[in-house]
């Protein structure tokens, strides 16, 4: 597990209204039940807690081609490496 994986899973868990269990790398993003307001809150928390700036355009799908939580974790790790 990477350094950001556990804190990110905790942040997602706090906002995922459609999730019945613990989020994992394999959890489909569509199963999280996250609305647009929650997305903004998650981005804010990620920036604050993990110290990474997340580019965000409210007019675009913030998840792009991401299908799972693992895709999101990988994308965030790429941002941190930059």
Residue range of the domain that includes 61? 5-81
Per residue in 19-39, pLDDT tens?
A: 888 999 999 988 998 887 888
pLDDT-derived band at 49 (thresholds 50, 70, 90) equals confident
HSE-up (13 A, CA, CB side) for residue 49: 17
pLDDT score recorded for residue 81: 76
φ/ψ (deg, to 5) at 47: -65, -45
The CATH number assigned to the domain holding 31 equals 1.10.1200.10
Contact 8, 54 (CB under 8 A): no
Task: Give Dmax over CA atoms of the chain in angstroms.
Answer: 34
Closest CA to 12 of 23, 20, 1, 3: 23
68 phi and psi angles, rounded to 5 deg: -125, 165
Mean pLDDT taken over the chain: 83
Give how many domains the chain has, as a whole number.
Answer: 1
């Amino acid at each position: 597990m990477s350094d950001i994986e556990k804190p990110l899973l905790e942040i997602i868990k706090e906002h995922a209204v459609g999730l019945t269990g613990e989020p994992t790398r394999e959890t489909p993003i569509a199963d999280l039940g996250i609305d647009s307001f929650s997305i903004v809150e998650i981005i804010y928390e990620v920036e604050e807690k993990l110290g990474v700036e997340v580019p965000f355009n409210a007019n675009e799908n913030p998840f792009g081609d991401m299908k799972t939580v693992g895709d999101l974790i990988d994308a965030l790790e790429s941002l941190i490496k930059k």
